[in-house]
Amino acid sequence: MNRARYRELSKLIDGEEGDVDDIVYAEFDALEIQARVEEFQATHPLKCCSAIQRFPVIAFYVRFPEAEENEPKLENATTHWWAFADPDGPRPPGVQANFGPRPEAKFCPYCATPVPKMRRKAETPPDIVQASGGQYCANCDERLMGCRCLPYEAAFEPEPT
């Protein structure tokens, strides 16, 4: 995705400088969709069966030590595969909406393939989010909650089998 163009269009739309036509909004929307797809692919890299791709119930997450929450360093990250459920979805009788901590996933629930071990990529993507101790990404200058840079999970890949 062309993240520089995305940031340019975002500032143009937010600033409402002059007339922003429908073509600009359409291009921005297309880039927004592409960014969301890239984010999803970074946190849902399992491709073992068609069911897990269609109904992704396992996600890959990167965690950092508590002392580094404001300025995380990828070299200190730990990786986790978490199973999750839709809190608004169907539940067995008597099960509360809060399921508690997410269980660590060890295998695909559809085909029983073990989840792969993940390793750092040889080269970290340049468009990865960079939290620098505040509420803004040092990479794109957007608030972290609205940042469209790649998540930390994009710096990892499955180990070859």
pLDDT at 44 over 80: yes
Question: CA 46, CA 41: separation in Å to the nearest integer?
Answer: 9
Q: Identify which has the larger pLDDT, 16 or 54.
A: 54
Give residue 92's pLDDT. Answer: 47
- Rg for the chain (alpha carbons), in Å? 18
> Are the C-beta atoms of residues 110 and 49 closer than 8 Å to each other?
yes
> Are the C-beta atoms of residues 100 and 84 closer than 8 Å to each other?
no
Instruction: Report the range of poorest mean pLDDT among 2-6, 14-18, 70-74, 150-154.
Output: 14-18
Average of per-residue pLDDT across 102-127: 90
Instruction: Give the other-Cβ count within 10 Å of 153's Cβ.
Output: 21
Question: pLDDT digits over 49-104, tens only?
Answer: 998 888 888 888 888 888 777 778 888 888 888 887 655 554 445 545 555 567 88
Domain assignments of the chain as residue spans, ordered by start: 45-158
Give residue 98's pLDDT. Answer: 54
> Are the C-beta atoms of residues 96 and 131 closer than 8 Å to each other?
no
Please give the biggest Cα pair distance in the chain: 56
Give residue 37's pLDDT. Answer: 87
CA atoms within 13 Å, Cβ hemisphere of 20: 15
> Are the C-beta atoms of residues 64 and 76 closer than 8 Å to each other?
yes
Tell me, what amino acid is at 118? M
